[in-house]
Amino acid sequence: MAKVSTCLKYLLIIFNFVFGVAGGVIFILGILAKRYYVGEPGGDTLNYAKDVAIAIGGVTMAITFCGAYGAKKENKCMLGLFFTGLLICLIVLLIVAVPVAMFKSEGFETIETVFRNHIPLDEKGGALLDSLSWDSLQKGGECCGLVNGYADWGSEIPDSCNCVAFSSSDCVEVQEKRSQLTNYDLPRMVYKQPCMYVVFEILESALKIVLGFTLGFAVIALIGMILSMTLCCQVRKKSIQSNGNLPPQYSEIIKNAAYY
């Protein structure tokens, strides 16, 4: 009689336990983060990310429960749900990640176009970011302006553009009238690099994380799907034989025994 591999059962249970713990951590972090509402510019994206984290964590725990329960009880239905859940998640993730990777350049060009439409910043920049966000971006990223550097600010360059970099090559000298700026002696040094490239670097890093997560999840999902399908096949064979559907060679023995 066919048997279900004990090693395979516990391997799938351990797989789901680790996967479920990861989903639980994501779910809890999303719940905890939900308590702190972000109302600053960009806060809508952060608040949306919290909801996504909660959803991902909840779905992950549900899928892993099906897999662990199905492996423990040798339940074909639960194993099938686990396989289907992984397959759906993998397809959805690929649908989102693949276009992002393929059209990355077009996306950056669109962002650059949006940035150019907000120049000069002293007149239109407020519609894109408030003064606090501009200060944080320019100080933290050691940059000034968006596309063309300090020139994007026109005649009023904010203090957050003041260059305090260790390398003088990161700074550029500008001339200002003392009546417009009283706290600094002429000439004034500001950051040379436009902030657009800093934003692109951040987005590039985020895309690498997303694509790395997608690749890692794809590998894990494939492993889980193979394990669940193998175990499901073993359970099915065991169920068939236990229901009296014996292979032909055993059936012949039983028929011949009736003549004695």
pLDDT tens-digit readout, 47-82: 666 777 788 888 889 999 999 998 888 888 999 999
Residue 138 included in any domain: no
Tokens of 167: 């390398």
Coil, helix or strand at residue 33: helix
Q: pLDDT at residue 173 above 60?
A: yes
Based on the fold, state whether residues 79 and 190 are members of the same structural domain. Answer: no
Based on the fold, state whether residues 10 and 45 are members of the same structural domain. Answer: yes
Based on the fold, state whether residues 98 and 163 are members of the same structural domain. Answer: no
Q: pLDDT at residue 169 above 80?
A: no
Map tokens 């596309």 to a residue: 147
Q: pLDDT-based confidence at 29, cuts 50/70/90?
A: confident
Last residue of a domain, one of 163, 194, 225: 194
Based on the fold, state whether residues 29 and 81 are members of the same structural domain. Answer: yes
Residue 17 included in any domain: yes
Based on the fold, state whether residues 22 and 93 are members of the same structural domain. Answer: yes
Distances (CA, A) of 148 to 33, 114, 128, 251, 255: 37, 14, 16, 85, 91
Residue 44 included in any domain: yes
Based on the fold, state whether residues 172 and 213 are members of the same structural domain. Answer: no
Distances (CA, A) of 187 to 59, 179, 190, 253: 59, 13, 10, 104
Residue 133 included in any domain: no
* Mean model confidence pLDDT for the chain: 78
SS3 content of the chain, % helix, strand, coil (to 5): 70, 5, 25
Q: What is the pLDDT of residue 64?
A: 92
Average pLDDT over residues 143-148: 87
Last residue of a domain, one of 194, 212, 229: 194
Domain count, the chain: 2
Q: pLDDT-based confidence at 106, cuts 50/70/90?
A: confident
Based on the fold, state whether residues 208 and 234 are members of the same structural domain. Answer: yes
Q: Cβ distance 235 to 74 under 8 Å?
A: yes
Residue 128 included in any domain: no
Enter the DSSP assignment of 183. Answer: S
Q: Which domain holds residue 183?
A: 144-194
Residue 114 included in any domain: no
Based on the fold, state whether residues 188 and 209 are members of the same structural domain. Answer: no
Based on the fold, state whether residues 81 and 99 are members of the same structural domain. Answer: yes
Q: What is the pLDDT of residue 187?
A: 73
Based on the fold, state whether residues 220 and 183 are members of the same structural domain. Answer: no
Residue 120 included in any domain: no
Residue 56 included in any domain: yes
Residue type, 28: I
Based on the fold, state whether residues 57 and 92 are members of the same structural domain. Answer: yes
Based on the fold, state whether residues 182 and 230 are members of the same structural domain. Answer: no
